[in-house]
Amino acid sequence: MFLWVIKRDLLLAMRQRADVLTTLFFFVIVVSLFPLGVGPEINMLRAMAPGVVWVAALLASMLSLERMFFSDYLDGTLEQMLLSPQPLSLLVLGKALAHWLVTGVPLALIAPILGVQFDLPIDALLVLTASLLLGTPVLSLIGAIGAALTLGLRGGGVLVSLLVLPLYIPVLIFGAGAVEAISVGLGASAHLSLLGAFLLLSLVFAPWAAAAALRISLE
């Protein structure tokens, strides 16, 4: 059942590849704009790289949030999911996981290539990827709550960013912090452990909260 949701959402993403690619290109373009705008001052680029990549990842992940439930809401498949004999939170977890697989994973994989533009050393690039791999599922899970709460509201897209972006701040701080820490030789394990803790916490609470929000939105 849980696997069916993931399979279904991945299949749909495959059929609408444009949606997935827009998110990815958005990320690539936003990150690439900074070196062009700031100029070739290598020390400055290196210092701002983690923050820039992470902020772009937040925005890209948020950009695709609305899709998580909205099209299912419009064509009635969401109300069928609510009537499923399986716990709704499990279903939401499946959808958030599928969202992460089609947005978070590609972002994390392409980030090291973009990091080269900022002249990041190899170990920093590795930590950047690791922090994105740990952090982006948290973004999808927290985003699921926001997407569920704003379902069917007019201007839901803007509202979801106002709701969700403040909640992304801890992930941003420790994600970007991990890369900064490794750059100055402190070691990133503390930051990465904290990101892992956020992930565990959101795995437990976010599906449950998003399920409750969906029930309210569909009533």
Partner 1 sequence: MLKVTNLECVRGENSLFKDINFTLEAGELLQVNGPNGSGKTSLLRILCGLAKPAYGEIQWCGNSIRSLDEEYHSVITYLGHLNGVKDNLTAIENLSISCALAGNEIDENKAYGALQYMGLGGREVLPVKVLSQGQRRRVTLARLLVCSTVLWILDEPLVALDSTAVDLVQRLLEQHLDQGGMVVMTTHQDIKVTAVLTKRLQLV
Q: Is 21 in the site for partner 1 (CB under 8 A)?
A: no
Q: How many residues bind partner 1 (CB under 8 A)?
A: 26
Based on CB atoms, which residue is closest to partner 1, 12 or 173? 12
Closest Cα partner for 171 from 147, 142, 144, 145? 142
CA distance 219 to 214: 9
Based on CB atoms, which residue is closest to partner 1, 7 or 204? 7
Q: Which of 11, 113, 162, 201 binds partner 1 (CB under 8 A)?
A: 11
End-to-end CA distance of the chain: 24
Residues numbered 47-106 forming contacts with partner 1, rule: CB under 8 A: 71, 74-77, 79-87, 91
Q: Give residue 57's Cα distance to chain centre.
A: 7
**Paired tokens of 219:** 């009533």
Closest Cα partner for 5 from 108, 89, 106? 89
Based on CB atoms, which residue is closest to partner 1, 11 or 201? 11
Could you list the residues that contact partner 1 (CB under 8 A)? Answer: 1, 4-5, 7-8, 11-12, 15-16, 71, 74-77, 79-87, 91, 218-219
